Chain A
Amino acid sequence: MWVYEKKLQYPVTVREPDPRLAQLLMSQYGGPDGELAAALRYQTQRYTMPTNATKGLLTDIATEEMAHLEMIATLIYKLTKGADLDEVLGSVFAGTYVDHGKGLFYVDATGNPFTATYIQCKDDPIADLVEDMAAEQKARATYNHLIDLTDDPGVIDTLRFLREREIVHFQRFGEALDTLQQQYACRNQ
């Protein structure tokens, strides 16, 4: 089971309402390389992992991704909360406002709804871990693009933290892959 803590993993502050930026950030909420995809991918791959170490790693990283999903949600919520309707109408957030108001919904930056086709589970630990490594790099690249598109120092600070975590998780998945490959090599000798 899971236990919720009433706390963000890392502080989230924004300078002022910015519905345009909120819409762009939705890519990391319900987009192809976003935090929901990450959490669900690792969470469902863990059941058929061959060792307790890899089950543990996928559980722990999936759980952390849920905390990142909450941070992205908090960014979007704070960037839209005080925005008046003129600001909404003049931004790329207008279409999302029509369908969801200021409610959080799992779409990407251009409004495409989340789909399970963003993720995979192959019951093959090598294939799954290599997918996970690629996913972390794609998420890192997305954070780079988002950082390029804002000058809000609070948002940038949060995005830099999240980008750093993608790099760390890539490292951890790579170590898990190396360990499994060594174990398989020993078994095949």
Chain B
Amino acid sequence: MATSKENLMHQLQQVGFTLVDLGEYMDTHPDDEFAIRRYNQAAEAYRALKAEYAENYGPLSLGCENSSDDEWLWATTDFPWDM
């Protein structure tokens, strides 16, 4: 069974936050090898989550695959303030 939309969104928020926070951290700590490793792990996880979300609940951003052949899901799925 597919992971629920809420659960996937929550994971995207968690991993997405890791990328944002580590990205800003590394802007002032560019030689931190541990942070770079951790960032690369999170980047891979984020790509996978984003693909899984697009497959089941519609594209998160332009560049995600549209999983329907006959419906543009960007225009038919909810925006965040209505979720």
Contacts and interface: CB of A to CB of B under 8 A. Distances in A.
B13 A168 contact: no
Interface in B12-29: 12-13, 16-17, 20-21, 23-25, 27-29
A74 B81 CA distance: 5
A176 B30 CA distance: 11
B12 A53 contact: no
**From DSSP, what is the main secondary structure of chain B's interface residues?**
helix
B36 interface: no
Interface in A6-55: 6-12, 53-54
A11 B13 contact: yes
Nearest to B30: A53
Interface in A56-74: 56-57, 60-61, 64, 70, 73-74
B24 A10 contact: no
A153 B17 CA distance: 22
Interface residues of B, number: 26
Interface string A96-112: 00000000000000000
A143 to B, nearest CB: 18
Contacts, number: 68
Given A73-B81, A77-B81, A9 B16 contact: yes
Nearest to B78: A6
B9 interface: yes
B74 to A, nearest CB: 8
**From DSSP, what is the main secondary structure of chain A's interface residues?**
helix
B28 A74 contact: no
A70 B25 CA distance: 23
Given A6-B61, A7-B60, A9-B13, A56 B27 contact: yes
Interface of B: 9-10, 12-13, 16-17, 20-21, 23-25, 27-30, 58-63, 74, 77, 79-81
Interface of A: 3-12, 53-54, 56-57, 60-61, 64, 70, 73-74, 77-78, 168-169, 172, 175-176, 179
